[in-house]
Structure 1
Amino acid sequence: MLIYAAISGHGYGHGSRSGAILLALAQRQPGWRLVLSTSLPAVFLRTVFGVVPFELRPCSWDVGVVQADALGADPAATHLALNDLERRLPDQIAEEARWLKAQGGPVLLLGDVPPALARLAQAGGWPLIWVGNFGWDAIYEPMGGPFLAWAERCRALYRTGQGLIHCPFSMPMDWGLPEIRVGLTVAPPRERAEVLRQQLELPERGRCVLVSFGGLGFELGEEPFRRWPELVFVSTDPSAAGAVNVRLLPKGLRLLEFMPLVERLITKPGYSSFCEALAHDVGIHLVHREGFAEAPVLEEALRRHGRHRLLSQEQLRCGDWQLDQPLLAAAVGPLALDGAEKAAGWLEQQALAYC
């Protein structure tokens, strides 16, 4: 069995989510081939998958929303990029269809969540399962103007799939497909927490804070960290490296490895960051984000399911991070922790049924 996973290059969160599910699938079916078709960097994918083998097909399947930085969107650049992708897709679809047919065995397509994958499914007659907490139809529709036509195009393609792994923190995905709803999709840590604590000379968990803004990052400099001399920060921001209370995330390690070592996380709205933090009972200091329709949905989900505080972008920049304030309790309660395993089991069933 060949699982061909087309993963959005819009952000690392798509790769982390699909990676968690495929790692759980590899536990169930270690002989199945995992093929990743994505524009995400190979070094990031190797960090996610560790020793589990995969094959990489470097392809760009979607645009998502072009971002000026981790907290801002660029609609004009997004529209240009969508038109450019549309011109390039026919050749890519033809090439990937030829390659898949040459493999000579059963194939299941998994999409997180590039709608163009439906065109590849149609080209080869392969079954297609979507995985996500939103589709690009729900992102483009509120952007209005020329994006309304793109939203309708995406929705029509999503509706041609055979099923949906419906993840938490979701926007409407009314695609008329059989689906399974799952909890937090998180891979298990691979590193020993105590070893990492000693390597980075970290104090007890209550004095450690993780700061990350995804693949694009967000430069804060050293000064905001110096406002909190009693705390130690693990950060992905090289501009903060000179602060004595900052430890840069070591290369080749996932943020996930540090969740058991920290009490709080400062971040933007992001699906996989939320999953990993909530699975380890890490409080989230969430920075408000404009121009991306998923952001308020994630913010509301955090209020319902996780300990939290909410920050403005100005508070972020000046270091007013409220780390001396108690975390606000979740309004509803925690989500199930077995999302990746549940998704992998259902994906296995679909693959065996369709192929």
Structure 2
Amino acid sequence: MPDRAARLYVAVTPHGYGHLSMTGAVLDALRTRRPEVTVSLETTLPAPIVAARVAGPVTLVPETDDFGLAMVDSTALDPEASAARYRALHADWDAVVGRAARRMAAQAPDLVLSNVGYIALAAAHRLGVPALALGPFTWTEIYRHYFADRPEAAASLATMDAAYDGARAVLVAEGAMPLRDRPNRLPIGPVGAPGRACPDALRRDLGVDGAVRLALVTFGGVASGLDLAAWPRGTGWRWLVRGGVAADHPDAHDMDRLPDWTFPDILASCDAVVTKLGYGMTMECGLCQRPTLYLPRTDGWPEQPYLRDWLARHTPLRAVTAESLGSGAIVDDLAALLDQPVPGPAPRPTGAADAAAVIERLLDES
């Protein structure tokens, strides 16, 4: 090892918040083992969101060509816009990798961790820096699922595969797509950081009594278009929301007005969660065994069956229609959800420590 502290360059796709929460759990585990490691984090996610999910100091690199997918809303991608952006990115591939390599080189990393973009992996390879991929999928599987029949697909997939195959390992977390065809896959446990359940304290801070039910309503970092204006009043439920979806609904509470509460602690303290299934939310709901009402994606998202089946093994789970969600006719669904038994003990979030051990080993080898 060099005399200076080891340097880790982390690239996080800005496609929603789940990749960031997953990465934050791994960095927390790494810092318990190697607190001296310095971290640079490349993402265009908002700095306050990064600060809320990544404890400890980081050097933020707020620039990337990684976009993931173009979305219509939180449960539907825009296939034509996504395909066009991939065509443009791959048409300029050498320059894209060059920009990423220059950003990376400025931080002089000993190791690169990418969740889960392939541009950073290609840049690391160009610089001769070892790299790891971490994520619930790779963009190869997602691109192949939606765009395999397009004329440019073969060349694009070859470029993606070359980048992922160049990583020392692709860390495949439990609950995610299994990626069994990935030659350098390395399975790890569930990755997440369950919050602390303090329901009495949350009710006290909200000014409600113990008879009131609390539901967290969230659709991650992609706009959902949800508006609670049409939801009924006086149902015995209070809705914890963020981002202006509640208008003036008297039963809604803006989480941003709970400055002493972290998102994971709010989730763990609620009676139920209303959401879509991304990896981050699936893990947080499952690790805390919070009953979950989910809106199925309408775009054939290939990760969804794996997340759904994993979550159903660990907590009460029920699907809701877009029509019911839009009108707020979900109280009966929530009641049925709470009547379901919790299926066994909570899973252990071992994946972050698994990933941290791999990172530590590669840093020791660099």
> Match of 2:318, as an amino acid?
R
Q: CA RMSD in A?
A: 2.6
SS in 1 for 2:335: coil
Aligned twin of 2:132: 129
Distance change in 2, residues 1:127/1:205 (3 Å): farther
Aligned twin of 2:224: 218
CA contact (8 A) 1:306 1:333 kept: no
| 1:207 counterpart (203, 213, 219) | 213
SS in 2 for 1:15: helix
TM value normalised by structure 2: 0.86
Q: Does 1:114 align with 2:117?
A: yes
| 1:279 counterpart (283, 287, 300) | 287
| 1:15 counterpart (14, 20, 23) | 20
CA contact (8 A) 1:225 1:245 kept: no
* Alpha-carbon distance in structure 1 between the residues aligned to 2:219 and 2:46: 17
* Alpha-carbon distance in structure 1 between the residues aligned to 2:185 and 2:308: 27
Could you list the runs of 5+ residues in structure 1 that have no partner in the other structure? none
* Alpha-carbon distance in structure 1 between the residues aligned to 2:16 and 2:115: 11
Q: C-alpha displacement at 1:307, in angstroms?
A: 1.4
Within a 5 Å distance, the mapping from 1:1-355 to structure 2 comes to 1-50=6-55, 52-86=56-90, 90-91=94-95, 93-98=97-102, 100-101=104-105, 107-143=110-146, 144-146=148-150, 148-149=153-154, 150-173=156-179, 174-177=181-184, 179-186=186-193, 196-204=202-210, 207-226=213-232, 229-250=235-256, 254-291=262-299, 292-321=301-330, 322-327=333-338, 328-329=340-341, 334-353=346-365, 355=366
CA contact (8 A) 1:8 1:14 kept: yes
Residue by residue over 1:174-225, the C-alpha shift from the partner in whole angstroms, topping out at 9 and shown as x without a partner, is 2211514112422656x97765443322444971110001112324333454
Could you list the runs of 5+ residues in structure 2 that have no partner in the other structure? 1-5
Bigger shift: residues 317-326 or 257-266 = 317-326
Residue by residue over 1:65-111, the C-alpha shift from the partner in whole angstroms, topping out at 9 and shown as x without a partner, is 2111112110000011113333565445334434544555x610101
> Match of 1:299, as an amino acid?
R
Q: C-alpha displacement at 1:273, in angstroms?
A: 0.9
Distance change in 2, residues 1:320/1:30 (3 Å): same
* Alpha-carbon distance in structure 2 between the residues aligned to 1:205 and 1:116: 51
TM value normalised by structure 1: 0.89
Residue by residue over 1:291-322, the C-alpha shift from the partner in whole angstroms, topping out at 9 and shown as x without a partner, is 12222332222223321111121221122221
* Alpha-carbon distance in structure 2 between the residues aligned to 1:206 and 1:346: 45
* Alpha-carbon distance in structure 2 between the residues aligned to 1:317 and 1:99: 43
The percentage of counterpart residues that share the same residue type is: 25
Residues matched between the structures, number: 351
SS in 2 for 1:305: coil
* Alpha-carbon distance in structure 2 between the residues aligned to 1:282 and 1:40: 27
* Alpha-carbon distance in structure 1 between the residues aligned to 2:23 and 2:48: 16
